[in-house]
Amino acid sequence: MTRIDDTFARLKAQKKKAFVSYIMAGDPDVPTALAVMKGLPAAGVDIIELGLPFTDPMADGPTIQRAGQRALEGGMTVDQTLQMVRDFRAGDATTPIVLMGYYNPIYSRGVDRFLDEAKAAGIDGLIVVDLPPEEDAELCLPAQAAGLNFIRLATPTTDAKRLPKVLQNTSGFVYYVSVTGITGAAAAQSAEVAPEVARIKRSTDLPVIVGFGITTPEAAQNIASVADGCVVGSAIVKEIGEGKPVAEVLAMVAALAKGAHAA
Q: Which residue out of 46, 49, 136, 228 is catalytically annotated?
A: 49
For the question of residue 60 being annotated catalytic, the response is: yes
Cα–Cα distance for residue pair 136/187, rounded to 1 Å = 31
For the question of residue 49 being annotated catalytic, the response is: yes
Q: What's the pLDDT tens digit per position in 210-227? A: 998 899 999 999 999 999
**pLDDT above 90 covers what percent of the chain?**
90
Q: What's the pLDDT tens digit per position in 115-168? A: 999 999 999 999 999 999 999 999 999 999 999 999 999 999 999 999 999 999
Cα–Cα distance for residue pair 166/158, rounded to 1 Å = 8
Task: Examine the pLDDT at 182 and tell me if it is beyond 70.
Answer: no
Domains of the chain, each with CATH number or no CATH:
3-261 (3.20.20.70)
Helices (H), the chain: 3-13, 30-39, 62-73, 78-89, 103-109, 111-121, 140-145, 163-167, 190-201, 217-224, 234-241, 246-261
Helix, strand, coil shares of the chain, percent, nearest 5, are 45, 15, 40
Instruction: Kindly indicate the confidence band of residue 57, based on its pLDDT and cuts at 50, 70 and 90.
Output: confident
Query: What is the average pLDDT score of the chain?
Result: 95
Q: Which residue out of 5, 27, 46, 60 is catalytically annotated?
A: 60
Instruction: Kindly indicate the confidence band of residue 185, based on its pLDDT and cuts at 50, 70 and 90.
Output: low
Q: What's the pLDDT tens digit per position in 101-130? A: 999 999 999 999 999 999 999 999 999 999
